Structure 1
Amino acid sequence: MTLVLADSLHGVPAASWDALSSSEQPFLRHAFLATLEDSGSVGGRSGWQAAHQVLLGSDGQPSAALPAYVKYHSQGEYVFDHGWADACRRAGIGYYPKLLGAIPFSPVTGQRLLGSPEAAGRLLDTLTASLEEQGLSSLHVNFTDAAADALLQGRDGWLQRLGCQFHWHNRGYRDFQDFLDTLSSRKRKQMRKEREQVAGQGIAFDWREGHQLSESEWDFVFHCYANTYHVRGQRPYLPREFFSLLAERMPEAIRVVLACRGTQPVAMAFSLQGGDSLYGRYWGCLAEFDRLHFETCFYQGMEQAIAQGLRRFDAGAQGEHKLIRGFEPTITHSWHYLVHQGLRDAVAGFLREEREGVLAYAEQAREMLPYRQA
């Protein structure tokens, strides 16, 4: 078997790439990753250089793969290692460039190592053995699924890191009221009040799939998305072209909810749907309305999941405010291989302490959930 580097996903046939994945998650699809490249979201001066790792079998066909990027900074990853980079700078150790196995700008747990476990294991071992020769300080694989965790657990040199997100689970609810009935009286009243406040401002909601939006409506979606960065003095990760290209290539996976006051859209939330899950990704508004964020980003997504019979709604990486709205703490996993032995030992000690804190935090967070006690 031979490990090759693809500096563009167009170097791997779409059918061959997609055939390696056992997941229905849209972020892993060749179309999604290629759209990031073609729109300029990655590559160029973004600090993300495509370096997809593909293991070829004796027949010359891909048998395993890892979507990967050479990184020159730690932005857009959502597994924060800025402290590690700063420590390396102070110690005179080079931390960048590093290699990251991840879906850019998408803190979504899922398959990362594509192909059979045996082939994926061989890919990992071959890759880690060549990091120093390639001038890379480390390999990081973020937001892994259980299969990757099992493959990496106990593998020489790999360090596991835990994180915590908040996901909402549909337990067979008939409708939103059925969900509300599972909550404590105080929390149930709070959610009803929030929804009534939004409705009282004359705002209604319109769900669309990717093929149902015009280019002018995609302009609106992008302006809303970009505005969430501009108000913080930051540049958005995704350019306008990304949305049109993705709508052309993966319209069936896209879900956009428009918040409208009369005929005028004032806010939006952009999601992707795949398998049994809805993934809330981007939100934005062009005018401020009381409680509109909670309705657009959370309650609308929960209602959509119920209506579509989806089991899970992942509304994004952070936000303890999700807890009191029924989003449950969920442990996430990432794995890190650091070439420098001293750095590896120091990070291993840090991660042991951090792990205890993350698990304790998740347990405390669970006690804040609004559900009635059995």
Structure 2
Amino acid sequence: MGDIDRPADPTLHDASAATVRIARRIAEVPDAEWDACARGESGSERPPNPFVSHAFLSALEDSGSATRDTGWLPQHLLFEDAQGRLLACMPCYLKGHSQGEYVFDHGWAEAYMRAGGDYYPKLQAAVPFSPVPGPRLLVRGETARIERQALLLEAGRTLTNELDVSSLHITFMSQDEWKLAGELGYLQRTDRQFHWHNAGYETFDDFLGALASRKRKTIRRERRAALDEDIEIEWITGRDITEAHWDAFFTFYMDTGARKWGRPYLTREAFSRLGESMAGELLLVMAKRGGDYIAGALNVIGADTLYGRYWGALESHDFLHFEVCYYQAIDYAIAHGLARVEAGAQGEHKLARGYLPTETYSAHYIADERLRRAVADFLAQERHAVAEDAALLAAESPYRRKPDESLSR
């Protein structure tokens, strides 16, 4: 693991009109200032994508989940005017490993180290432990938007060079940001997730009606089987989520984390902090049998999207995972008029359940020219393979017609 405790000049650019500097903790930035950038052009009261909100990042950092001790040293980039007003920002971390990112660069690290280079530490512009697409170049309002995004990208390069680290990786960014980064010389990478799209359905049966008959029958059978042992489902939101609920859910989370990646990333305190600061943006889908909770999934509610994040269970029941994570999420999205469900990274099994392949984007600045050339060659081949794979998956769509035509007659 690389040394991430490297000092850096907190001011990267200083001019009479504006300054670019580093915040070593999100707590150094007033929440109203950060969220004004995270809201972007939306004009909404809260950031449309809750994962880049001050509250979410604070919960991760203040709970000890994303800190220097866990290999995530905050290096948030701030672009301020002469009066100290925040105009743009980018969540960024200095890292000594590649864990908790979901855009995998372990092969690059191994190749560079075999050639005698130090791949770690590196910079990661991301939301820790969250493979959720969304903005990474956060700009206040509409004024000079592209220019300020470009400035953040250039500042990221400058920080990489000043810290003398190998690279900067901006992961799960928006497509527009990705295109801009490519124009400015960043290497471009694509991958895919599986998202469900609401075509104006009024009921779950409306959604099923858009599917091929065989897929529709399979889902109905799975939903019946998941609940046939007197299992009940509860939706718990807002201030109805208590510490007892978090205790139960954390037990599920720890079990899944221990089996999947050895050490779960979030502390128990992180969930309490999320519950305190983001109660209205959280949905717990909990499964109960015999009066006891046996499984659950945590979802985050955005402006038009339900984001599935963590799942766990203490008992094994056929199709319960699909019910709690995928079908209940669709039910909730339909009931609340949400446009999409994003159910996390990977998972081709989601396709048969109505979740379609969706491209995701990341951009990479590699300081060493030799490594940069090698990675560029690899990414050109990978983008082609991802596009081919997506086309093959789209051909396996479970829908009788396109989702946006599903209610047309």
TM-score interval for Structure 1 and Structure 2 normalised by the shorter chain: over 0.9
Q: Aligned residue for 2:399?
A: 371
Please state how far the C-alpha of 1:278 moved relative to its aligned partner: 0.1
Q: Say whether residues 1:214 and 2:242 are aligned partners.
A: yes
Partner-residue secondary structure (3-state), 1:24: coil
Asked if 2 retains the 8 angstrom alpha-carbon contact of 1:210 and 1:256, the reply is: no
Q: Aligned residue for 1:276?
A: 304
Cα distance in 2 between the residues matched to 1:131 and 1:105: 22
Asked if 1 retains the 8 angstrom alpha-carbon contact of 2:182 and 2:363, the reply is: no
Q: Aligned residue for 1:293?
A: 321
Q: Say whether residues 1:97 and 2:126 are aligned partners.
A: no
Q: Say whether residues 1:61 and 2:85 are aligned partners.
A: yes
Partner-residue secondary structure (3-state), 2:252: helix
Q: Say whether residues 1:120 and 2:149 are aligned partners.
A: yes
1:11 counterpart (6, 28, 42) = 28
Partner-residue secondary structure (3-state), 2:388: helix
Cα distance in 1 between the residues matched to 2:129 and 2:156: 23
Q: Say whether residues 1:154 and 2:154 are aligned partners.
A: no
Gap runs ≥5 in structure 1:
none
Pairs aligned (count): 373
Q: Aligned residue for 1:73?
A: 97
Q: Aligned residue for 1:133?
A: 162
Amino acid at match of 2:99: Q
Please state how far the C-alpha of 1:302 moved relative to its aligned partner: 0.5
Partner-residue secondary structure (3-state), 1:283: strand
Asked if 2 retains the 8 angstrom alpha-carbon contact of 1:255 and 1:271, the reply is: yes
Please state how far the C-alpha of 1:153 moved relative to its aligned partner: 2.7
Please state how far the C-alpha of 1:174 moved relative to its aligned partner: 1.2
Q: TM-score, normalised by structure 1?
A: 0.97
Cα distance in 1 between the residues matched to 2:33 and 2:315: 45
Structure 1 segments of 4+ aligned residues over 3 angstroms from their partners = none
Q: Say whether residues 1:240 and 2:268 are aligned partners.
A: yes
Residue range with higher mean Cα deviation, 250-259 or 19-28: 19-28
Partner-residue secondary structure (3-state), 1:316: strand
Q: Say whether residues 1:24 and 2:48 are aligned partners.
A: yes
Partner-residue secondary structure (3-state), 1:53: strand
Asked if 1 retains the 8 angstrom alpha-carbon contact of 2:150 and 2:180, the reply is: yes
Cα distance in 2 between the residues matched to 1:126 and 1:243: 33
Please state how far the C-alpha of 1:333 moved relative to its aligned partner: 0.5
Asked if 1 retains the 8 angstrom alpha-carbon contact of 2:93 and 2:125, the reply is: yes
Cα distance in 1 between the residues matched to 2:147 and 2:255: 45
Cα distance in 1 between the residues matched to 2:260 and 2:122: 27
Gap runs ≥5 in structure 2:
1-17, 41-46, 140-144, 403-409
1:166-185 equivalences under 5 Å are: 166-185=194-213
Offset from partner CA, 1:76-111 (integer Å, 9 cap, x none): 000000000000110001111111100001111101
Partner-residue secondary structure (3-state), 1:299: helix
Cα distance in 1 between the residues matched to 2:335 and 2:393: 28
Q: Say whether residues 1:318 and 2:346 are aligned partners.
A: yes
Cα distance in 1 between the residues matched to 2:346 and 2:157: 31
Cα distance in 1 between the residues matched to 2:95 and 2:218: 44
Amino acid at match of 1:69: Y
Partner-residue secondary structure (3-state), 1:256: strand
Please state how far the C-alpha of 1:57 moved relative to its aligned partner: 1.4
Amino acid at match of 1:47: G
